[in-house]
Amino acid sequence: MEVTHIIWTILAGIAVASGVLWYNRRFLGAFVHRLIEIDATSPETAVTIEELHLTQSAPLKNALREDGSLHDAILSTADEPPRYYIAPKKLPMLKAKYRKENASIFSVILIICLLIVTGVLFTVLYPIVSDFAQSLLNK
């Protein structure tokens, strides 16, 4: 495999990871922020997703299911529809993980553009630098 393919693969992975991070922080973060704002930390203060004025998105469903990332931190009642609240012991962790200063979509687009420019520059400059280094080694 060529070095340029490896670099492009790494850059693409970083771009996808930054997009996924933004998406998760945006949708999961909105859910967690609203639970923190209303201090839903017990079954008595638990609320439904609809009461938070949110929709049950795929990332939120995945995070709340039994093996999801929020399963231990966000508890649910047996009601139908379920009401959600924050496990009191997990509140500091959630506040740190979903703090308000998350990335904007503009910063994610900027990161992806910078990764593309870096990849193009590497693709253009790598053969030149490689040939130059090879000529130095052959002397």
Are the beta carbons of 56 and 103 closer than 8 angstroms?
Answer: no
Distances (CA, A) of 31 to 39, 60, 61: 12, 8, 11
In this prediction, residue 86 carries a pLDDT of: 93
pLDDT tens digits, one per residue of 35-44? 888 888 888 9
Mean pLDDT of the chain: 83
In this prediction, residue 1 carries a pLDDT of: 56
Q: Which DSSP category does 5 fall into?
A: H
Smallest Cα–Cα separation from 100: which of 43, 44, 54, 34?
34
In this prediction, residue 100 carries a pLDDT of: 66
In this prediction, residue 79 carries a pLDDT of: 83
Percent of the chain with pLDDT over 90: 5
Distances (CA, A) of 23 to 1, 2, 17, 69: 32, 32, 10, 14
In this prediction, residue 101 carries a pLDDT of: 57
Amino acid letter, residue 19? G
Burial 66-85 (b: 16+ CB within 10 A, else e): eebebeebbbeeeeeeebbb
- CA 6 – CA 87 distance, rounded (Å): 43
Average the pLDDT over 13-19 and give the result: 84
pLDDT tens digits, one per residue of 54-109? 888 787 888 888 888 888 889 888 888 889 999 889 888 888 877 765 567 777 78
- For the chain, the structural domain boundaries read 3-138
CA angle 98/17/104 to nearest 5° reads: 50
8 or 100: whose pLDDT is higher?
8
